[in-house]
Amino acid sequence: MSTSPLAEPAAGPALPPVAGGALGWRREVWGFAVTFVAGPVLTWLLFTLSSPQSITYEVLSYQLLVVIVALIGGVRPAVTAAVLSGITLDLLFVAPAFSIAVEHPLHIIALVLYVIIAVLVGLIVAQAARRARIAQRATAEAELLASVAGHVLRGDSAVLALVSRTREAFGLSGVRLVTPAGEVLARDGEPVPDGRATAVPVGAVGGRPVAVLELHGGPLDAPSRRLLDVIVAQLAAALERTELTATAREAEALAETDQVRSALLSAVSHDLRRPLAAAVAAVGGLRSAQELSEPDRRELLVTADESLSTLTTLVTDLLDVSRVQAGVLAVSLTPVDAVGSVVSALDELSLGPADVELDLDPQLPPLSADPVLLQRVLVNVLANAHRYVTHGQKIVVSAIRRGGNLEIRVIDRGVGVPAERRDRIFQPFQRAGDTDNSAGLGLGLALSRGFTEGMRGALTAEETPGGGLTMVISLPVAADGPGS
């Protein structure tokens, strides 16, 4: 099994951690910094403005400092600030001054309450921070799951996208998805050189994992493991989808091959059998008849000749189709007169002014083409147009130069071909309605396109304005043509 990513997945943020302190060590450091910097500054300011009646706002000022420290750093900095501010109040602002002796038991109760308030505020801040972190983590997990589901729905690139998103989300150094046989299906980042990794099985067929997800870069916590289980399930679904897509494509290719084979057998059984049977009957009549009149003999010889000629044409077309599809078509490019080729093709088909209207400039530059292949292309395209043109209408053949190419346009006013079927008419064994075996094997347009492309040109079908079909044969102008 292998994957073929169609596009690089979009990068995403890593999941915020859940473990650790609610506020983080940086906020605690800031809380202690405020305690040991703002505390002395506040003490100096209050001591400078101290008076016998100022104890109330001194207590409230230290209480405000403790609350601010709790909001910044949480419980431990707040308790430290509460203890230090309580000692400072007793030492500098409560009689007897410059002594930590407690004159009244109520002062001890006040100090204890002071510390309790600091602890409660710190706990509230820590709880709020913890809930904010959990909410942030939940939001990140929801975004990750939405991203994972989106990658799975997008198709072929899902496996690589999921592997890359796993590494980014969990902050790993590298992630690989390998088969039990060691084939790497997808990878992202740089795996640890010593090979230490957490291996997680992905999917299972017959009791064996379909693949193994290797995680390089450290263990995962419990929440991350639960989220990883979801990603692994999505990876299994993506691998299954990739396998089903490959199987469906193989089945489609087989079905197309069977369809071509059935069309070939159906066409060959009719188109080859008919001239072959006619030739056999004519030759048998000539051999078995004792006395035949000269007209009867000539008629049998003409029938055998026409049947064998038709049979030769059909076999030649089949061989040419096989050469075109195998890419071994022999092409000899020389300067060719476009007008002369068109006239020769009309003569071969016995089409005259009553059937075709020509709009050709005699001064057109020569084409770079194989004269034999160009003749066959023109004969096939003109015969197809003549077969489906509306009775009483003429085929129009025109030519115009466009840059370095010359376009020969064969225009008919027939029933036309729907836009969704225009590419299919150039496939082998395709006929109008795919039911009329009298129209031949359906190789004419397939051969014409193959021959034209072999001559470095193009054959396309367009809608004729007002109804019908226009075949456009575009071939390069020869290097020695005028104006080249």
Q: Is residue 152 part of a domain?
A: no
Q: Are residues 432 and 358 in the same domain?
A: yes
- Using left for φ > 0, alpha for ψ between -120 and 50, and beta otherwise, residue 483 falls in left
The DSSP-derived string for 337-364 is -HHHHHHHHHHHHT--TTTEEEE--TTP
Residues 33 and 92 in one domain: yes
Sort residue 416 into left (φ over 0), alpha (ψ -120 to 50) or beta: left
- The last residue of a domain, from among 117, 134, 151: 134
Tell whether 194 and 285 lie within a shared domain: no
Are 76 and 192 in a shared domain? Answer: no
Looking at the fold, whether 205 and 89 belong to one and the same domain comes out as: no
Query: Is 228 among the domain residues?
Result: yes
In the block, tokens 């043109």 appear at: 389
Q: Is residue 177 part of a domain?
A: yes
Helix %, strand %, coil % for the chain, to 5?
55, 15, 30
Last residue of a domain, one of 225, 249, 265: 265
End position of a domain, from candidates 99, 134, 169: 134
Residues 72 and 186 in one domain: no
412 and 278 in a common domain: no
Please give the tally of structural domains in the chain. 4
- Of 371, 379, 386, 396, whose CA–CA distance to 475 is shortest? 371
173 and 224 share one domain? yes
List the chain pLDDT tens, one digit each, 484 residues: 444 333 344 445 555 554 555 567 788 888 889 989 988 898 898 888 877 777 777 878 888 888 888 888 877 888 888 888 878 877 787 666 666 665 666 666 766 777 777 778 777 877 777 777 766 666 665 666 666 556 555 554 677 777 777 777 777 778 888 888 878 888 777 765 555 677 788 877 767 787 888 888 777 777 777 777 777 777 777 777 777 777 777 777 676 656 655 655 555 555 566 677 777 777 777 777 667 777 877 787 888 787 777 777 666 666 666 555 556 567 788 899 988 989 988 998 888 888 899 888 878 889 898 888 888 889 888 888 888 887 778 899 999 888 889 999 999 887 777 777 777 777 665 555 444 444 455 566 777 888 888 888 998 888 888 888 888 999 999 875 444 4
Domain containing 119: what range? 25-134
Encode 67-103: b = buried (16+ Cβ within 10 Å), e = exposed.
bbbbbbbbbbbbbbbbbbbbebbbeebbeeeeeeeee
- Kindly report the CATH number assigned to the domain that includes residue 347: 3.30.565.10
Candidates 52, 54, 73; CA nearest to 62 is: 54
Reference 411, options 443, 449, 445, 384; nearest CA is 384
Residues 345 and 470 in one domain: yes
Whether 401 and 435 map to the same domain: the answer is yes
Q: Is there a single domain that holds both residue 210 and residue 236?
A: yes
Shared domain for 361 and 345, answered yes or no, is: yes
8 Å CB contact between 215 and 172: yes
